[in-house]
Amino acid sequence: MNSNQLSKRLTAVASFVPKGSVTADIGSDHAYLPCYLIHKKIAVSAIAGEVAEGPFQSALKQVEDDGLKQVINVRKGSGLSVLNIGEVDVVTIAGMGGPLISQILEDGKSKLPGVQRLILQPNISAISIRDWLTRNQWKLIAEEILEEDGKVYEILVAEPSERLIELTYADRLLGPFLAKENSAVFQQKWNEEYKQWERILRQLTQAEPSEIIEAKKEELREKMTIVKEALR
């Protein structure tokens, strides 16, 4: 893969970047996404942030090979610490677990004033991002679910909100836009999760009873009820 020929997953992330933006891609690895955004004339300039030396070097090389050093600044550092306040309109964070993305947002909160859109693509546990967004006055404006190479990915797009946004537990678990759309990929994802929870519940039922096990069973039953309802 290269920056002209992006994965379906990252192309979907790119589709939510408004034309003319200055974008920061955090955890950019090869910097494929920022290079694509510039090649396609979607972003006018970009910052690629990377914490690890190997991916940081890959990003530098890709940006150099693509002749984009004037418009993509590759910076080494953790999360949003590589940004100055007010420097970018859009932040993308893709290809990590939901808890890590939420932690990056939490740790980098002070850098978010001025950012007009977050585009987040968790590989797992999107609920932790929806939890963070609702706690921090960001409003979900769109979501997408897609399958690529047998894996299911979710994309969450959020913008700053004047007030705190309440989401039900069901909406935080499933995603309000994704649940409404109820696509075949959404059905497939939650059918698989449901079957896995059924297996876990059976194992827990056979285990020595304890308060922790009862609480876990209760939590699973609640999630299963929500998913069953959504899949009807």
Q: How far is the CB of 111 from ligand SAM (least distance, A)?
A: 12
Closer to ligand SAM by Cβ: residue 3 or 227:
3
> Which positions from 90 through 119 interact with ligand SAM, judged by CB under 6 A?
94-96, 104
Q: Could you tell me if residue 61 is left (phi over 0), alpha (psi between -120 and 50 degrees) or otherwise beta?
A: alpha
Judged by CB under 6 A, the stretch of 43-51, 63-71, 160-168, 192-200 that binds ligand SAM is: 43-51
CA 208 to chain CA centroid, Å, is 37
**Residue bearing tokens 């510039």:** 38
Q: Which stretch binds ligand SAM (CB under 6 A): 23-31, 138-146, 147-155, 181-189?
A: 23-31
Q: How far is the CB of 59 from ligand SAM (least distance, A)?
A: 9
Stretch that binds ligand SAM, among 20-28, 83-91, 109-117, 218-226 (CB under 6 A): 20-28
CA distance 163 to 166: 10
CA separation, residue 78 to residues 27, 28, 115, 143, 230 (Å): 8, 11, 18, 26, 37
SS3 126: helix
Which residues bind to ligand SAM, rule: CB under 6 A?
10, 26-29, 49-52, 55, 78-79, 94-96, 104
